[in-house]
Amino acid sequence: MDSCVIPLRHGGLSLIQTTDFFYPLVEDPYMMGRIACANVLSDLYAMGITECDNMLMLLSVSQKMNEKERDQVMPLMMKGFRDAAEEAGTSVTGGQTVINPWIIIGGVASVVCQPNDFIMPDSAVPGDVLVLTKPLGTQVAVNAHQWLDIPEKWNKIKLVISREEVEQAYQEAMLSMATLNRTAAALMHKFNAHAATDITGFGIIGHARNLAQQQKNDVAFVIHNLPIISKMAAISKAGGNLFGLLQGTSSETSGGLLICLPREQAARFCAEMKSSRVGFSGAVGQDGGAGDGQQAWIIGIVEKGNRCARIIDKPRIIEVPYRGSVVSAQEGSNNNASPPEVQLT
């Protein structure tokens, strides 16, 4: 499970907690802080929890940094974390800081809940559909950006993507990772979600399999569509099946929620995600952030099975344009609002 659920002694309440941390994966320390906070909170959001009572920050300062580097980088990282916590309606009240060979940032999120505040991730039924609330491809985008300065790596992918497109994809990945999954968590209640998880280090197929194994019913998840940041599928192919993106094994950081929804509710869930005022845009100079909604896609089905998950042999690749693109609104509308029968062909 994404979070631990601890029954309390008083009044039928539960304490729900989660923790996570990782090493920097983007160059902007402020954005790294925001991404780290969003990543921690996603474990709560995956259970349909929209409020967080308290956060702690876990921080490691690299012993390889000189005093000037430390004084410039670490406050920005901490500010990004705190700003994302504030956006989530919570605050950072403490934590732990250590000296370490590497920079590390993460945190702990805690909330006390009544039973109807959270959705246990175990009630998917045959006939449900699978919805994903962020595009895949963040690992490929971040690595491609690093390869701009590594000729032997860049030469493998330069025929399928320009330097400008790599920069756009990198900015899109940062924006996506820094966006909270809070709106999706709220809509899980409105549209009667049966189970959910967030997509992070094990890739979409790893987390789909883990979620399938937790189900009370004999079900299997079948993924037909893969929404991927534009050009990242081409990079993956050019790099020799880079990170297993098209097989669903590519790691994501602060990825979207994978949600099991009743078939008749899924299209409306996606449409309401798109119309909601969500997203973060300020730090990366994009036009398509807060107020423009967040895309979600119907990517598969729940059928009767033995608690497993798979991607079909030739999944449909949905190229997700960089925000601010002229075609973004049109493609977003088509992808989000299509009924399940159309999405799953």
Quickly state the pLDDT bin for 314 (edges 50, 70, 90).
very high
Give the pair of three-digit tokens for residue 45: 């959001």
Give the pair of three-digit tokens for residue 208: 């789909």
Report which of 130, 269, 126 is spatially closest to residue 205, judged by C-alpha positions: 130
Mean pLDDT for the stretch of residues 61-69: 96
Mean pLDDT for the stretch of residues 152-174: 96
pLDDT digits (tens, 9 = 90+) for 203-229: 999 999 999 999 999 999 999 999 999
Mean pLDDT for the stretch of residues 128-134: 98
Contact 173, 156 (CB under 8 A): no
CA 77 – CA 318 distance, rounded (Å): 33
For the chain, give the percent of residues with pLDDT over 90: 85
Contact 136, 199 (CB under 8 A): yes
Question: 180 or 341: whose pLDDT is higher?
Answer: 180
Residue 336, pLDDT above cutoff 50: no
Write down the pLDDT at residue 302.
Answer: 98
Mean pLDDT for the stretch of residues 311-325: 89
Radius of gyration of the chain measured on its C-alpha atoms:
19
Write down the pLDDT at residue 339.
Answer: 32
Residue 174, pLDDT above cutoff 60: yes
pLDDT digits (tens, 9 = 90+) for 222-280: 999 999 999 999 999 998 888 999 999 999 999 999 999 999 999 999 999 999 876 55
Write down the pLDDT at residue 31.
Answer: 97
Mean pLDDT for the stretch of residues 80-94: 98
Is the pTM here over 0.95, yes or no? Answer: no
Residue 82: Cβ-neighbour burial (10 angstroms; 0-12, 13-18, 19+): middle
Write down the pLDDT at residue 171.
Answer: 96
Report which of 248, 235, 260 is spatially closest to residue 202, judged by C-alpha positions: 248
Lowest mean pLDDT among 157-161, 193-197, 316-320, 330-334: 330-334
CA 283 – CA 77 distance, rounded (Å): 13
Quickly state the pLDDT bin for 343 (edges 50, 70, 90).
very low
Give the pair of three-digit tokens for residue 14: 């539960």
Quickly state the pLDDT bin for 292 (edges 50, 70, 90).
low
Residue 133, pLDDT above cutoff 50: yes
Write down the pLDDT at residue 293.
Answer: 82
Write down the pLDDT at residue 280.
Answer: 58
